[in-house]
Structure 1
Amino acid sequence: MQELATEETKELTTEELLQNYDSIVEKIITEQVSLPYETITKDVSTGTGTKQDKVVQNGEDGIKEITYKAKYRNDEEIEKIEISSKVIKEPVNKIVEVRTKQVTTRAQTGRTAGANPASTATTSLAKKVEGITPKVKTLNASAYTASTCGKAPGSAGYGRTASGAMASPWYTVAAGSGYKLGTVIYIPYFANKPNGGWFVVQDRGGAISNNKIDVYMGTYNECISFGRRNLECYIYEF
């Protein structure tokens, strides 16, 4: 009779069973994350020109606290579920104002002067217009004197201007109808002349348009020597 071999079944202890399985651990963890601020732009410009930005409020990130339930197997995270969150600190938005820097340019209508020459001059004309902001134009200037006006010496109108006043060298200018009689004009080119380069529109001329002036000088030779030039003029209108 053949004898059958039997194999004994070995019972494992609880400790041995646990060693054969990976352990899973649950943890409650809390993390803080940054809440980025936003940048808000406000256009407060009123014209055209070169853009300039001004920061009126700096931005600052906020803080958010998030609580998770996490599971780990052999110290390796295998699951993470958010269970709650709260804002610890609200973000502060950055506010930027966009302005337009007004750019003055030379044009037919003129530009506003950056500095008023009348504020530093000492002549009576300068003092008269000290509180007025001048316009600056480049005008084509020529010269005239009594002998070039086509009037004979001794005649009723000889040397008399359209304003009724007698023409005065380095004081009187003739200008187009766009400039009122009595308008004060400062011409830096003539700053070393009598009256310091300050003139008054007292006369008219048939060939004088609004972009030209005729400066009254003392002699014919001065007029010829001057010729015709483009000059910067500060115009004070009442």
Structure 2
Amino acid sequence: MTEGIIIKQTEECTTSDNFFNGRVASALLAVLLLVVTIISAYQGAQKKINLLVDGKQWQVHTFSNNVDGLLQEEGVVLAEQDRVTPGAAAVLEDGMTVIVRRAVPVQLQVGYEKYRLMSSAETVGELLKEKGVVLGARDMVTPGLTAKLEKETRIQVDRITSQVIEEKVAIPYKVQRKSDETLLRGTMKVINSGKEGLQRKVWEKVYKNGIMMEKRLLASSVLHEPVDRVVQVGTMRTVSRGGNTLRFSRAYDMVATAYTHTGNNTSTGVSPYVGVVAVDPSVIPMGSRLYVEGYGYGRAMDKGSAIKGNRIDVFMDTQSQALGWGRRSVKVYLLE
């Protein structure tokens, strides 16, 4: 009777232990599942981001939802002209790269206007677009549009413009000289006065920052051909005057007046006498031997302020002779 009771108690204990162990195992499993769930949620919420600031790159892990939050976490403070890509409000995604480019000081000259500014553009072209600089088809940019923008980069924009103009210009005529033995040497006879031609020219003027740098001929055409001037040039070197043969180097058509004693010597220092002729030394050299038609032989020994060009003044012995001569056109021979 006693043994039977003992057996029953042992069976009841075993059943109770099994129940307790099962509950413990279930609890442990639940805790494990919760931990796994928390870890999974943690890992899902955390994002791995590549952060690039002014060429320096590092990898960060963040729970932030947007770029702005990430930058705050990392202590990256943006200045007004700094640039972040993607934008500060962009939603972060795992594996994303966030780029921060700091603005640098640059010098920009457009034409003759100079600017000093801050920019976070990567290239010269981006900077010009950022600042609203519109380029013409022929404008020149130094350095080129694809050049990387760095600290204190100097950018020169030269405005190149052009203007097409048309002009009409005279074509000078040529002079044909023909020898004529019937004309005195030093005299000429115009056979044809000549006429200028007319030419049409089209030019392109190229300006750099408003200053003309180049003028190029685009087209040219002759509207009227010039007509040559034809002149007969005398070659006769001898003439017969008063029964004498005069050999001369040149003949002049001149206007002659007369003067008489004034009490003063000539410009060459000699006392005036019949045969002294006042001349313009730029036309007839002083001391030259002359023959003046209607007066006779003479020598260039005087000059006067009123004697200029093709004018001479012949000396007469008396005032009445000088007045009688008056003013007349004469042929003057420069004797050899």
Shorter-chain TM range is 0.3 to 0.5
The one of the two structures with greater contact order (alpha-carbon pairs below 8 A, sep at least 6) is 1
**TM-score between both structures, scaled by the size of structure 2:** 0.27
Higher gyration radius (CA): 2
**TM-score between both structures, scaled by the size of structure 1:** 0.36
